[in-house]
Amino acid sequence: MVALASYKHSCKRKYEEGLNLAREDLAAATSQNSKLWQTCQSFNIYSPIFRFLLLKVISLNSLYRFTLLLLMAMAGKTRRLTETISYYRGLVVGLGSIEAFRTYTRALPRSNSDSAQGISLILCTRNRAAFLRTCLASILATEYPELDLLVVDQSDNNHSELVFQEFSTDSRVRYLKLESKGRSRAFNAAYPLARYSIIGIFDDDCRPEKDWLNNIAAIFRNRPEVGMLVGQVLPSDYNPQLGHIPYFLLPHARYCGIQRLLEPGGAGMGANMIARREVFEASGLFDEQIGPGTPIPASDDFDLVFRAVRTGFLVFQSPASTIWHDGFRAGEDLSKLIDGYQLSGSAVCMKYVRAGELKGLLLLLGLLWNSVSYLTLRLLKRQQPLGLRALKANLKGVWVGLKMPLDLKNRVFIEKPL
């Protein structure tokens, strides 16, 4: 009996050692792959054949190591299996690099100094005059000289217009009254009026940091290969026990490809997105049936970034572009917001699945995988199935994206007739 117990203990110890070695091996390989890919980007290695071969090696290498680790975990206890699934729940992110080699292909022409410095900012607002006053004051406080700030007002009253009058003496600010609703419609209506070739969108419940516009101009000037910039969105002070403020944290600057979009919230937030005019001309403006004020209440930002990526533009995410978000949500309002995020993400992905795009299918599977794996882990650990509501919203989004009329040529939803 003693010998048998000793043998079992020895086997268990070897199993633990093997599992740890496999984990370390996969972690090291993932780190090496990431560094290798970043090195290729830093040296502007844009050869499609080279990148295709490189990413094939990276993906197959990571898949082999993950499969080995998963088999070892399944040979052990269920607890080990749940730990493994939890640790590598984002496996699909790594597999997304198979498609990523097509991302970094478009070379943008160098802009002249004037267009690189001038920035047009489209500020969308509706029935939030108090927020608008704070927002306008903070933007103009950046004292950026070559700013073209266009306020698009979709309010049901004249309160926002009265706020605009307080700042109308500043020649950098203009005003547009719009009867139609929806942030996407607001941006699309104002886009032709933009004076400069760098054009951004901003929300009325946000405030930029003092050097925000200067940093944006510097990035576009020093990185001519960048087509779109996505900045950091930090939450204002709030009590997390009472509610939530959506945010987007960036620990460091990075490029955003398909593999980044597979991560929850990886595209960033539309409150802090800015791009060259060439990007909008090539990949299109906002889908007017997506975003706040539409049947698909979110993911207009995700859709815009994805279309830029699939067209071949470089999307750069940097904490140098930082703003603050004051949009506090609580109770049922917060629940509806989160449900809207889940529904909209699936609906947008479904749009591209219907168009026959592999990237769209990859994104949809990644989104559903995140919900299913989170719910599965909760059930395996005998915890409350908190992810069930998110999964239901995801599936509802698939149905919405499947049934909504679609312009296949332009990849935009069509408004349903009344």
What are the extents of the domains in the chain? 2-88, 113-333, 337-413
Instruction: Say what angle helices 48-75 and 2-42 make with each other, to 10 degrees.
Output: 160
For residue 383, is pLDDT > 50?
yes
For residue 137, is pLDDT > 60?
yes
Q: How confident is the model at residue 53 (pLDDT cuts 50, 70, 90)?
A: low
Rounded Cα distance, 225 and 345, in Å: 28
Q: How confident is the model at residue 107 (pLDDT cuts 50, 70, 90)?
A: very low
**Taking residues 11-35, what's their average pLDDT?**
52
**What DSSP character marks residue 295?**
S
Closest by alpha carbon to 359, among 392, 403, 312?
312
Other Cβ atoms within 10 Å of 146 Cβ, number? 17
CA-CA distances (angstroms) from residue 146 to 113, 213, 224? 12, 10, 19
Provide the percentage of residues in the chain whose pLDDT is more than 90. Answer: 55
pLDDT of residue 265: 86
**What DSSP character marks residue 232?**
E
pLDDT of residue 17: 53
Q: Which CATH class is domain 113-333?
A: alpha beta
Q: How confident is the model at residue 248 (pLDDT cuts 50, 70, 90)?
A: very high
**What DSSP character marks residue 103?**
T
Q: What would the two tokens of residue 392 be?
A: 């239901």
For residue 112, is pLDDT > 50?
no
Q: Which residue has the higher pLDDT, 35 or 394?
A: 394
Query: Which of 13-27, 110-124, 146-160, 256-270 has maximum average pLDDT?
Result: 146-160
pLDDT of residue 51: 52
Average pLDDT for the chain:
80
Provide the percentage of residues in the chain whose pLDDT is more than 70. Answer: 71
